[in-house]
Chains A and B, each alone.
Chain A
Amino acid sequence: MADALCGPSNALQTFQKQTSVDRTLQQDRITARQAPAENFRSAPGILDAEFEAFQAGYPLQAGYPEPDSFYNGPPASSFQQKLGQPQLPNWASDFQNMQLNEARVSPIPQSQFRQHAPLQRTGGWHQDFLHQQNQPSPYQSQQQQIPAGQNYSGWSYGYTGGLLPQHHDTLSTMARQKQPERQAEDVYDEAAFERAFDAAREEIQQSGDSAHRKETQIDAGLHDTKDQESQGWLDHSRIGFDRILDEAQKRGEEGKDADDAEELARTAGQLLENVKGDQSQKFQESNFLFLMRQLRDREVRVEGDKLVDVSQPLHPGGSGYPVYHAHPDYWPEDVESLVAAGGARDREPDPPSAEETDLLTHHPARNYGDLLGANSIRRDELVPRARGLLADAGQSPDYLSERTLESSEATDTPTYSSIDTTSEALQNYQMQLMLLEQTKKKRLLMARHEQDTIGLGHRSGQSSDQQAPTGKGQEQ
């Protein structure tokens, strides 16, 4: 690199430098590729160009696509393939231009740079963007002409070191002007660059309006990337929970306060509808589905962070109502069965209305208040949460068979079908074996740990780190 900087440079030298660049795997990273047809590493040229730009200290702009018309020279991605072809002098001279950028190469070794990168980037791209806005740089309005689906297309700026101003109109004309110049002189003309910058700046000022509009859009949030990202495949078809959130948001904007209980009941109803076809015993005995039925039938209401039984004990279906509670799908005309069942059920009296359901055991851990943070879920968030949690639950392929799910009583305790005693002994034995093995393992770990501790001095915490991946990953 030193000779390239000091002596007069020529095409061959530049080329040599290019070929001697270290391209080992460590400089390879997974880059943005969206074209589905693209195979793995089908276009090494893209990586190379990005890498060059990266080394030159310019922000990587993989997300900034550019119309192809921008180029008059061969695209960077075909850079390597064209080595042996007649265009050689052209690109070589362009490459010479690039060397000038190296005056600004950051002295930080590349490896060091990489290690720090993840933690330093707390800002996000929009901050980078704003930062660039403050400089009199012609990057400003470039985002405006992003064509759909062209993100991360093969375009690469490395060809010109990432420096060239990228305003569409200016640049294409400018580049066209500059081309003959290059061919004639075969050296870099700084004045030409300056002129180009000036032209670009003027252009930007003229189109300042639109640029400003764009800017405000970007400031408005990170939602800009969504548009780019979603083009082509997402469109506006939000699915699942996203749609639920959107709906909730829309309702909030419209100022319509939906009736939570109503909404919750509807959600529960939908869920039950989805699993209606499932005849399995598990589903019929499910506590969760029983709760859903209660929610649907407004027998249970959410108050604060409790579920409260609000069923009317003496109404049909209520706990105090003869028979029907146990068999709620009987109708009053079903007199015979009513009589057969013998009138009022002898069942311990249910708690009166508006008392906690004893569906589930409650834990009185609600009073931590300030220490644990604000009180739990806000009322207006309940419905989205419920719908979010339930939306994915009941996706059933068939809704065909008709059935009432009203099952027997809510079993307060899930039935733990006892482990049969014959296999229990076996299991105990197996468990002991397992524990024994684990003890051995632990001893081994301890031994290793000690070794590490001795080896590493005080870094005992560190050495136990070393164990974890061993256990997790490679140990067979």
Chain B
Amino acid sequence: MLEYRTQGFNGYAVKYSPFLDSRIAVASSQHFGLVGNGRLYVLGLTPKGIIAEKWFDTQDSLFDLAWSETHENQVLVAAGDGSVKLFDIGIDEFPVQSWKEHMREVFAVHWNLVSKDTFCSSSWDGTIRVWNPTRPTSLLTLPIHSCTYSASFSPHSPSLLSSVSSDSHFRLFDLRTPASASNHLALTIPIHSAQAPTQISATQPSGPAGQFPPNEALTHDWNKYRSSIVATAGVDRLIRTFDIRAPGQGPLVILPGHDYAVRRVSWSPHLSDTLLSASYDMTCRIWTDGSAKAEPPHAGSEGFGGEQGRELGRMCRHTEFVCGVDWCLFGSEGWVASTGWDERLCVWDVREFMGP
């Protein structure tokens, strides 16, 4: 395990560069994001360990970041003052572009992985905005009406955009539909809905008839292989997977285990069934949703009924809340980076922490 200390700054998000295997960016904030400055670290993995290649200070806390998919030197950050900033590693100190339209803290930014010419940001002001890096104003505003912790483009379609928000719902927007009364909203899934009877697995923590109270959803991620599968997680400490083709079915798999709210989930870019999560219980955990055993990936139906999600391992080195995790896209399949409020970036191999 490699470590780097983001001294004085509490990490909120970490991302590997999609271009260079040795570059990692960390978005961090002073004073746990309550007050003070933010700092974007650009770190290099070298034979001598992790070194800071560059850092940028911002006026307000930073909560998320995303690498540009079109330029290997550019990084987007989500700032607490409602702005989205684009930094270029080749340019010192100041952002090359800054967009200020959100009214409150921006909590997520995500670059469109397919068309690569747009990115989205979501904010506590209850909107998602879609931007083009070359334009001074946003292209599109999608109202959520609820504090939106996470927004992301589908990695499979340039026009599908999803979000989870404080009101315990997953929303799917299809930008191909006209901007009518629904504001591109194509689908809404209540995350707290009960599992369909056919899918109740042995691992499910049973509420009364599988019912759950609504809970704030903090994070979600699209499966990189199965284009209709998303994972969500939040305050109720459960990770769930959904199939957007069957919105009424409820969660496919429910993964209980974390002791506190789950702050971040991320599907593996290498394995279709493997998830990594970061939580306020100060652990990162590795999960399988059980789909790999039931059926090979790319098979049409996800084996209703047969899935057994479970925890594969956990990493406990962090000593404060863990807020960000990301998988390395390159090299062997297990390497990940995690960051948290203990001012620490850890680069580690999940296979070290997995059981036999």
The docked-state distance in angstroms from the alpha carbon of A30 to that of B177 is 9
Kindly report which residue of chain B lies nearest to residue A275, judged by CB atoms.
B260
> Does B113 lie within 8 Å of A305, measured CB to CB?
no
> Does A431 lie within 8 Å of B113, measured CB to CB?
no
Determine the chain A residues whose CB is within 8 A of the CB of B1 once the complex forms: 419, 427
> Does B113 lie within 8 Å of A468, measured CB to CB?
yes
The reply to whether the CB of B211 lies closer than 8 angstroms to some CB of chain A is no
> Does A382 lie within 8 Å of B319, measured CB to CB?
no
The docked-state distance in angstroms from the alpha carbon of A438 to that of B17 is 13
The reply to whether the CB of B105 lies closer than 8 angstroms to some CB of chain A is yes
Known: A225-B143, A226-B145. A363 touches B39 (CB 8 A): yes
The reply to whether the CB of B94 lies closer than 8 angstroms to some CB of chain A is yes
Stretch at the interface among A68-76, A250-258, A373-381: A373-381
The reply to whether the CB of B72 lies closer than 8 angstroms to some CB of chain A is yes
Determine the chain B residues whose CB is within 8 A of the CB of A471 once the complex forms: 18, 269, 329-330
Partner of B80, one of A34, A385, A392: A385
Q: From residue A214, how far is it (CB to closest CB) to chain B in Å?
A: 12
The reply to whether the CB of A239 lies closer than 8 angstroms to some CB of chain B is yes
The reply to whether the CB of B141 lies closer than 8 angstroms to some CB of chain A is yes
Stretch at the interface among B25-33, B284-292, B306-314: B25-33
> Does A473 lie within 8 Å of B155, measured CB to CB?
yes
The reply to whether the CB of B209 lies closer than 8 angstroms to some CB of chain A is no
The docked-state distance in angstroms from the alpha carbon of A145 to that of B159 is 31
Q: Which label, helix, strand, loop or mixed, suits the secondary structure of the B interface? A: loop
> Does A125 lie within 8 Å of B280, measured CB to CB?
no
Known: A121-B178, A128-B178, A242-B146. A389 touches B33 (CB 8 A): yes
Q: From residue A363, how far is it (CB to closest CB) to chain B in Å?
A: 6
Stretch at the interface among A86-94, A280-288, A324-332, A399-407: A280-288
The reply to whether the CB of A441 lies closer than 8 angstroms to some CB of chain B is yes
Determine the chain A residues whose CB is within 8 A of the CB of B160 once the complex forms: 30
Q: From residue A237, how far is it (CB to closest CB) to chain B in Å?
A: 7
The docked-state distance in angstroms from the alpha carbon of A472 to that of B329 is 6
Determine the chain A residues whose CB is within 8 A of the CB of B185 once the complex forms: 32, 225, 229
> Does A114 lie within 8 Å of B176, measured CB to CB?
yes
The reply to whether the CB of B234 lies closer than 8 angstroms to some CB of chain A is yes
Q: Which of A59, A118, A151, A376 has the most CB of B within 10 A?
A: A118
Known: A365-B37, A469-B113. A225 touches B332 (CB 8 A): no
The reply to whether the CB of A36 lies closer than 8 angstroms to some CB of chain B is yes
> Does B172 lie within 8 Å of A121, measured CB to CB?
no
The docked-state distance in angstroms from the alpha carbon of A463 to that of B4 is 33
Kindly report which residue of chain A lies nearest to residue B184, judged by CB atoms.
A121
Q: From residue A21, how far is it (CB to closest CB) to chain B in Å?
A: 18
The reply to whether the CB of A63 lies closer than 8 angstroms to some CB of chain B is yes
> Does B341 lie within 8 Å of A33, measured CB to CB?
no
The reply to whether the CB of A122 lies closer than 8 angstroms to some CB of chain B is yes
> Does B343 lie within 8 Å of A472, measured CB to CB?
no
Partner of A377, one of B80, B146, B234, B236: B80
The reply to whether the CB of B299 lies closer than 8 angstroms to some CB of chain A is no
> Does B81 lie within 8 Å of A242, measured CB to CB?
no
Q: Which of B3, B100, B176, B349 has the most CB of A within 10 A?
A: B176
> Does A434 lie within 8 Å of B183, measured CB to CB?
no
Which residues in chain B, 69-90, are within 8 Å of chain A measured between CB atoms? 69-72, 80-81, 83
The reply to whether the CB of B237 lies closer than 8 angstroms to some CB of chain A is yes
Q: From residue A262, how far is it (CB to closest CB) to chain B in Å?
A: 16
> Does B237 lie within 8 Å of A395, measured CB to CB?
yes
Known: A245-B147, A465-B70. A122 touches B269 (CB 8 A): no
Chain A 414-454, CB within 8 Å of chain B: the 1/0 string? 11100100000001001110110110011000000000000
Known: A305-B37, A373-B83, A414-B343. A395 touches B319 (CB 8 A): no
The reply to whether the CB of B41 lies closer than 8 angstroms to some CB of chain A is no
Determine the chain A residues whose CB is within 8 A of the CB of B159 once the complex forms: 117-118
> Does B237 lie within 8 Å of A37, measured CB to CB?
no
Determine the chain A residues whose CB is within 8 A of the CB of B57 once the complex forms: 363, 365, 368
Q: From residue B240, how far is it (CB to closest CB) to chain A in Å?
A: 16
> Does B218 lie within 8 Å of A392, measured CB to CB?
yes
The docked-state distance in angstroms from the alpha carbon of A277 to that of B250 is 32
Known: A282-B282, A473-B224. A414 touches B344 (CB 8 A): yes
Kindly report which residue of chain B lies nearest to residue A368, judged by CB atoms.
B59
> Does B174 lie within 8 Å of A29, measured CB to CB?
yes
> Does B81 lie within 8 Å of A472, measured CB to CB?
no
Determine the chain A residues whose CB is within 8 A of the CB of B184 once the complex forms: 121
Kindly report which residue of chain B lies nearest to residue A434, judged by CB atoms.
B331
The reply to whether the CB of B235 lies closer than 8 angstroms to some CB of chain A is yes
Determine the chain A residues whose CB is within 8 A of the CB of B215 once the complex forms: 239-240, 395
The reply to whether the CB of B133 lies closer than 8 angstroms to some CB of chain A is no
Determine the chain A residues whose CB is within 8 A of the CB of B178 once the complex forms: 59-60, 117, 121, 125, 128
> Does B35 lie within 8 Å of A302, measured CB to CB?
yes
The docked-state distance in angstroms from the alpha carbon of A39 to that of B249 is 8
What are some 25 contacts across the A-B interface (CB < 8 A)?
A29-B177, A33-B187, A40-B245, A60-B177, A125-B180, A222-B143, A241-B124, A242-B146, A282-B282, A305-B37, A362-B8, A362-B30, A363-B9, A382-B34, A388-B124, A388-B147, A396-B260, A397-B237, A414-B344, A437-B331, A469-B114, A469-B155, A471-B269, A471-B329, A475-B270
Q: B residues near A, CB below 8 A?
A: 1-3, 5, 7-10, 18-22, 30-37, 39, 45, 47, 57-61, 69-72, 80-81, 83, 94-95, 98, 100, 104-105, 113-114, 116, 118, 124, 130, 132, 139-141, 143, 145-147, 155, 158-160, 166-168, 172, 174-188, 190, 193, 214-216, 218, 224-225, 234-237, 244-248, 259-261, 263, 269-270, 280, 282, 319-321, 329-332, 335, 341-344, 349
Q: 9 closest A-B pairs (Cβ-Cβ)? A: A361-B8, A63-B181, A36-B248, A240-B216, A365-B57, A118-B175, A121-B179, A438-B21, A376-B60
